[in-house]
Structure 1
């Protein structure tokens, strides 16, 4: 009989860790810079069994999804309360997540309020990787690095988005009419998504 899991300690990643390794190992990165990130992410996961959990310092894997309404040529972005920028939907992996793609879709559903018809692109493969420093543990804590794995999710044309308590605002924007407070990483993600949708 195994010892009980200590309260507050990160759980072994198990299936999620294995899926992250598989997803990144099999992903055909679209360019050399993305392939370098892919290899860095794989090194991180091979070195850290807890590499998918928020408690893993100084870096951990996160999952996000760019939600698109392809029929109307628009994307759903959230105004992030900590960062103050319009971003794709996503966040930390949770113990119930068995796959990175599933974590990205769960985050997209939670943060968009779209509970029916939201689905990952048919390939369910990452669109892009993005490494960025954040203070996800709080302003008084040291910076941590998010190793974000970004997916594409499609919403039905009649989808009604509902803001969550994790956002200051939630809005649809045209592919070519992104808000001013959107960084280069999100603009690049939107451009890559558009190419996949063409």
Structure 2
């Protein structure tokens, strides 16, 4: 079975946490069935991305980066770029964006689903039109004492943010209200 079909099965098996996830799950499955090149940026309308919600052992801090394009503190992640094994992709992205290698998944399963709107922007001197990110999030854990570093072409700062300060640090209100607060709530309610 190819990676896209495995990803489809994982999304089908995922139990939505709220109405946003129920609706986004339906749309993701529709895109998988109806769209071509859904794992690559060749699909200019919508493609898969993956994000990491990285918590410390006591679940009071989250590793975030100050994102150069959005000028805001944000989670780590990236594009599938043809690889439907999003667990593999997120480990690569975490290492690229933060230097962090000693990290563990807190679950073998998807932690969250969301469809994210991306406004048109410049990237490496080229204009990227508005599109959708069909995003899968995984929950991971790392020690705050481990060294981290920035990835200059993507972020200018990286650090552990107290969960109570995410709303003060991130300037993306929609993400704070709809995504980051959901993830914090879900960690508190479902993770031991």
Shorter-chain TM band: 0.7 to 0.9
Shift of 1:157: 4.9
Which stretches in structure 1 are left out of the alignment for 5+ residues?
Answer: 1-13
Give the alignment partner of residue 190 of structure 1, picking from 153, 170, 184: 184
Q: Which structure has the highest helix share of the two?
A: 2
The answer to whether the aligner puts 1:162 opposite 2:143 as a matched pair is no
What CA RMSD, in Å, does the superposition of the two structures yield over aligned residues? 2.2
Match of 2:93 in 1: 107
With structure 2 as the length reference, what TM-score do the two structures score? 0.84
SS for the counterpart of 2:65 is strand
Aligned partner of 1:86 among 73, 81, 87: 73
Taking structure 1 as the reference length, the TM-score comes to: 0.81
CA contact 2:49–2:135 (8 Å) conserved in 1: yes
| 3-state DSSP of counterpart to 1:40 | helix
Partner Cα separation in structure 1 for residue 18 and residue 167 of structure 2: 27
- How many residue pairs get aligned? The number is 183
CA contact (8 A) 2:117 2:130 kept: no
For residues 134 and 91 of structure 1, do their structure 2 counterparts lie closer, same or farther at Cα, with a shift above 3 Å needed? farther
- Alignment match of 1:33 (pick from 20, 23, 29): 20
Check conservation: 1:70, 1:197, Cα contact below 8 A.
no
1:172 aligned to 2:175?
A: no
Residue 92 of structure 1: how far off its partner (Å): 0.5
Structure 2, unpaired ranges of 5+: 171-175
CA shift, 1:48, in A, is: 1.9
Distance 1:98 1:131, change over 3 A: closer
Q: Return closer, same or farther for 1:72/1:153 CA change in 2, 3 Å cut-off.
A: closer
Alignment partners' CA distance in 2, 1:87 and 1:16:
27
Larger radius of gyration, structure 1 or 2?
Answer: 1
